[in-house]
Amino acid sequence: MSEPSRTAGLRPAHWRAALAVLHAVWHEQRVADATLQAWFREHREMGGRDRAQLSGLLYGVLRDAMRLARMCGSAADAGLLLAAHVLDRGISGVDALRALAGATADEAQQCLAACDATRLSDAERLNVPAPVWAAWLAQYGEAEAAALALALNREAPVDLRVNTLKATRDDAIAALAAEGIAAAPTPHATTGLRLARRVALQNTRAWKDGWIEPQDEGSQLLAALVAARAGECVVDYCAGAGGKTLALGAAMRNAGELWALDVAPARLARLDPRARRAGLREIRTQALPATDWHARYRERCDAVLVDAPCSGTGTWRRNPELRLRPLDLDTLAAQQRRILEAAAPLVKPGGRLLYSTCSVLAAENEAVVEAFLREHPHFEPQPAGERLALPALACGEPWLRLLPQRHGTDGFFAACLRRR
């Protein structure tokens, strides 16, 4: 179950907005954060409190989706789910809600009254799809699986990466403090900051000057695990919009050859303005597939990062709608193996191949790496905890496994492989 909402004073504008955004996410499978930000851009009259109210309603439903769907029926629409959430969390009484939602308010009240909480499965109670819950039980055991589910139902902290090309961590803390924003070092990443509250970062001088970038501490640790150095040839093979690319570039100090590759040219295009703001001049981009490029860079690269497309189960704190999407682990794992196979020939002898996901499912993580190693004996795993020199992250295996209930990060997996 999600944490109790702190929203209050539900008004017609809140209800209409929440219903429209939730419908887009629930029925049209839109991305929650992007849909919400688009609504805010189109309705600039909404103040900070209104935005907080709308965000609380949307994410409140999404973080309690399995339980609400069980109470309201699997065919329930966004309006009924929203009404049930509002009543269940005490955001509004049924009489006040009836003025906003009409008969849906009474239907929601009836659903809540008829539900026997003792008949909910653990998966429904903890807001986890049944197949994922079964996989977690096998992988982690009941107590750890429950702790993981609860952690992924909480709001994620606001983490920043300090761009060491332009500032130290102390510089960034001081700059943010000057604008009334409290920030503290993250527990593990040496470049990380964690904010005490959410703020409009794009309005801060530290952001405008390229001193900081939003990035979860776990993602920063994955970039650090690559151990990119000045003068090397480094490839971010599934770069997306380039958050890890920027971290790699800062580590390389604008010296060397840094490539960002992705199947979506539009995502790569968003990297250029971010790189300019960060003061990074050496990032090159290449859309995939790129047969000629692969042939040219075969066995030339010191390090290749494969942050593979995955289920995103480790990011449910930030993207709770992902738990509502159909999940085909076999198809995902096959795609991940193909990408790893395509990237591996780029690594030169003695170079590093880092495979990572933001998944907390073994089928996308250990299983993929172990299958790759069986077929590629010229690669060997390197102990991730030792490479990062962070004993608190050691798990007794070569892999790095980050879990929100243990480390306070999003859920991540990483394997560092060295080519003999």
Query: Average pLDDT in the 385-412 region?
Result: 89
Whether 336 and 290 have beta carbons less than 8 Å apart is answered as: no
Return the pLDDT at 233: 98
Please tell me the distance from the alpha carbon of residue 218 to that of residue 275, in angstroms, as a whole number: 21
CATH number of 158-214: 3.30.70.1170
Return the pLDDT at 5: 39
Return the pLDDT at 389: 83
Please tell me the distance from the alpha carbon of residue 339 to that of residue 236, in angstroms, as a whole number: 12
Query: Average pLDDT in the 75-92 region?
Result: 95
pTM: predicted TM-score of the whole model, two decimal places: 0.93
Q: Which residues pair with 401 in a beta bridge?
A: 413
pLDDT digits (tens, 9 = 90+) for 236-290: 999 998 999 999 999 999 999 999 999 999 999 999 999 999 999 989 999 999 9
pLDDT digits (tens, 9 = 90+) for 23-78: 999 999 999 999 999 999 999 999 888 999 999 999 999 999 999 999 999 889 99
pLDDT digits (tens, 9 = 90+) for 203-247: 999 999 999 999 999 999 999 999 999 999 999 999 998 999 999
- Spell out the domain ranges in the chain: 12-120, 158-214, 217-419
pLDDT digits (tens, 9 = 90+) for 329-380: 999 999 999 999 999 999 999 999 999 999 999 999 999 999 999 999 999 9
Q: Which residues belong to the active site?
A: 358
Whether 335 and 363 have beta carbons less than 8 Å apart is answered as: no
How many CB atoms are closer than 10 A to CB 173?
Answer: 19
pLDDT level of residue 387 (50, 70, 90 thresholds): confident
Return the pLDDT at 139: 97
Q: Give the rounded percent of residues in the chain with a pLDDT score beyond 70.
A: 98
Phi and psi angles of residue 110, each rounded to the nearest 5 degrees, phi first: -65, -40
Please tell me the distance from the alpha carbon of residue 278 to that of residue 245, in angstroms, as a whole number: 11
Query: Average pLDDT in the 94-116 region?
Result: 95
Cβ within 8 Å of residue 54, ≥6 positions away: 14, 17, 18, 21, 36, 39, 46
CATH number of 217-419: 3.40.50.150
Phi and psi angles of residue 205, each rounded to the nearest 5 degrees, phi first: -65, -35
